[in-house]
Amino acid sequence: MERAANDTTFHEIGRDCIGGRLRLLNRVVTNLYDDALRPLGVKVSQMNILIAAARLGTAEPAQVCRILQLDLSTLSRNLERMRTRGWIETVPDPDGRAHPFRVTDRGRELLQKAYPAWQQAQQQAGDLLGGEGVTLLARAVRHVAGRLER
């Protein structure tokens, strides 16, 4: 009897788990973007950090972590790789604790070069999700963002 109960439990989790569904969707969509951006040597996760920093001008790690919902160790690993490639630079900080950074000219050039590849991936992701899927995704993100701001 216990095996039947376990099978039912496993079936339900495999069929209904929101976390599992989101992770699958995330992997599929991320792969579309990473494949398109690969010739430029950048991943979509790094591009998102560059875009956030470019929009902020001078970015503080905590601010970028909050915007992109990243943990500091993930951001730090990516920043080190991007600094090595010359895409970002550290900005002197008066108190020496925040370690602000900004996108370099080389990083801005990368973003410009990446734009057509991003557009291609964006189109593929939109085709994959369909118009209704894109609309529902945007609605879900707005809903979650509103709850995070509370």
- What count of other Cβ atoms lies within 10 Å of the Cβ of residue 12? 10
Torsion of CA 71, 27, 52, 88, to 10 degrees: 80
pLDDT, tens digit only, all 150 positions of the chain: 567 667 788 888 988 999 999 999 999 999 999 999 999 999 999 999 999 999 999 999 999 999 999 999 999 999 999 999 999 999 988 777 778 999 999 999 999 999 999 999 999 999 999 999 999 999 999 999 888 877
Question: What's 2-148's CATH class?
Answer: mainly alpha
Rounded CA-CA distance 63/56 in Å is 9
Beta bridge partners of residue 103, listed in sequence order: 88
Please tell me whether residue 101 adopts helix, strand or coil conformation.
Answer: strand
Chain centroid to Cα 26, Å, comes to 10
**What's the token pair of residue 40?**
């430029």
| Region of 69 on the Ramachandran plot (φ > 0 left; ψ -120 to 50 alpha; else beta) | left
pTM: 0.88
